[in-house]
Each structure stands twice: as C-alpha cells, then as structure tokens.
Amino acid sequence: MNKHVAVLMGGWSTERDVSILSGLACAQALRSSGFQVTKIDVDRNISSVLAKLKPDVCFNALHGPIGEDGNIQGLLNIMGIPYTHSGVQASAIAMDKIRTKEICSKAGLSCPEGSSLSRNDISLLELEKRPFVIKPKAQGSSIGVHIVRSKDNYVPFLKKWSYGEELVIEKFIPGRELTVGVLNGVALCVTEITSERGFYDYTAKYELGGSKHIIPAELP
C-alpha cells in the first residue's frame, strides 16, 4: 500500500496565503507520484487532527512562524510522526535572523553590518547612517522589510508594525539578486531575479509579473 502523506499548509502566520499555494502544488505532485494524500489546513487543533488521521508522514508546506521555526517540528517529534525538511533546532535557528547571523559570522561568512533593537528604542534609529534596512526578527517572504533611504520617514511604517518587539537593523547593500538551487546535492545554474519594485519584496515574489527570472544569469 502506498504511504499516506498529510500535507500541512495554511496555518495562521502572515504567510498563510503563500503556504496554501505551496501545499496545493505539493499535494498534486505527491498524488501524481502515487501517494495517498490528505491536505490539512493547520489550525490550533492540529494535534487532534493528526492523532485521528494517523498519517505515515507529514509533508510540511507551512510558511513562516509555527511552520518554519521549530514549533510544528517539535509537535511532530512528540507525536512520533516522521516529517519532511529540517528538525527543531535547525528550524528554530534559521528562522531567527539574529541567531543565524551570529552562527554565519562565527563560521567566517560575510554578513551585513547591523544590530537588533527593541521596538521601545526606535528613537535610536535616528543615529543610524542611511540607507539602512528594518526587518522583523522572524518572518519570511520579505514581510515587514523596509528600506530607509536618505529622506524616508520610517515612523509611520513602525506605527503599523505587527511583527514582534525586536527589530533587525542592517546596513543597506545594493546589488543583484542571485540565487542557486541545489537538487540532490548538486548545485544548479545561477538564476538572477529582477523587479521594478526597488527590491525583491512580497509583491515581487508572489504576484503575477512582479519579477523576472534570468536563467542562467549573465555573470562576468
């Protein structure tokens, strides 16, 4: 009998909509490969749902907090259900931009200059040399990212801030958006991503026509 795969998607993070799209695509691919598939729009009763369903494995298509920060991984560990992607520790570290930068820096990798700042101390941003970037500590898909340029007023942006009490502040480094996929341990060709939006933000990533992919990238 083919394995029963529960595809976890949706959830309640700011990346819910993207997760739904990912989950539907993954479910279709798994089903076409012969697996028995159940799609689950994750809510706070997920442990009860999984206990009743008893899948052989969970395919994690969740995006953002809960799905990528070690929470769902920890729950699945406790329940003894195998799952795809990284485990608790790797997920928790990778979702935390501050901890990730610390580890990368200690490993000798170059990282943008920056620091963390409490939301209560935003007046200290006036001391930052512009341009600089404001980011949430633990969000994906460029959600909450704001580039503060020479004449920008960041106060209205931060008044609407809903991404936690800790901000990541980094020096803005202009450049090209280049990415390399890895499949089965083999690096694929370099892809350049371009957008008319100033940087590769949420809209550029997910809306039709928001960006262009140049494959392979034109490199010197």
Determine the topology of domain 4-95 in CATH.
Rossmann fold (3.40.50)
Query: pLDDT tens digits for 162-177?
Result: 888 899 999 999 999 9
* Whole-structure pTM value: 0.85
Superfamily for the 111-171 domain: ATP-grasp fold, A domain (3.30.1490.20)
Query: pLDDT tens digits for 106-135?
Result: 999 999 998 888 888 877 887 788 899 999
Cβ atoms 192, 176 nearer than 8 A: yes
Cite the residue boundaries of each domain of the chain with CATH code 3.40.50.20: 4-95
Query: pLDDT tens digits for 16-38?
Result: 999 999 999 999 999 999 999 99
Give residue 158's pLDDT: 86
Cβ atoms 144, 119 nearer than 8 A: no
Query: pLDDT tens digits for 143-155?
Result: 999 999 877 778 8
Query: pLDDT tens digits for 39-79?
Result: 999 999 999 999 999 999 999 999 999 999 999 999 999 99
Cβ atoms 137, 168 nearer than 8 A: yes
Helix (DSSP H) and strand (DSSP E) numbers for the chain: 7, 10
Give residue 7's pLDDT: 98
Local confidence band at 209 (pLDDT 50, 70, 90 cut-offs): confident
Cite the residue boundaries of each domain of the chain with CATH code 3.30.1490.20: 111-171
Give residue 155's pLDDT: 82
| Angstrom distance (rounded) from CA 11 to CA 165 | 22
Residues 6+ apart with CB under 8 A from 105: 111
Give residue 126's pLDDT: 78
